[in-house]
Structure 1
């Protein structure tokens, strides 16, 4: 987990705090969610299946939550862009996390499994 921890610590504030808070929200969504390091990003698995990951959008200059099976979820906060499988939710690190929206999306994603 050293690389995973390093990923969070190398981010500047307020992005670091935002990503760390998102990590906690994701992990608290279900006891079967586990963190991992994949594709040089913090990844989260649900019962050994890819659920979501955290990253930073270079164009929008914001962190985002990517849902692996996002194409199967219809939610206005999710963007597909040019992705064929995943959808992302941009997060403003200078605002409070939209907890209800994040939790609703995570529950929809978990229901797919």
Structure 2
């Protein structure tokens, strides 16, 4: 039987499914202190017991994105605020190569806030 987190990934349609799984691996491999949990009905990642980032998809277009809990304190121009008060997101087009170096750069910026 799959966990609720595993069900989230399994229930995604391709190419988003592969994209989400790759993003999950990038985030978890970034630092051993990052742990995945289920919060707000989405995969959420904690860094040293603090909300760090999460994976979800846009309402329009269903494109995956990484949301950052302290996004309002982050400066990377690739992050989008939209109508969010605290969080910013990095949209990922699942039909293109995942921008791993950019993601690692943004994860490092986020980590400095903790």
SS at match of 1:19: helix
What 5-or-longer segments of structure 1 have no aligned partner? Answer: none
Distance 1:15 1:61 in 2: 8
**Aligned 1:40-55 pairs, distance under 5 A:** 40-55=41-56
Distance 2:61 2:17 in 1: 16
Say whether residues 1:73 and 2:78 are aligned partners. no
Distance 2:50 2:99 in 1: 25
Distance 2:72 2:96 in 1: 26
What 5-or-longer segments of structure 2 have no aligned partner? Answer: none
TM-score, with structure 2 as normaliser: 0.96
For these two proteins, the number of residue pairs brought into alignment is 113
Runs of 4+ in 1 over 3 A off after TM superposition: none
Calculate the aligned-residue CA RMSD, in Å.
Answer: 0.9
Distance 2:111 2:21 in 1: 21
1:44-96: CA deviation from partner (whole Å, max 9, x where unpaired)? 00000000000010124300000000111101110000111000000000011
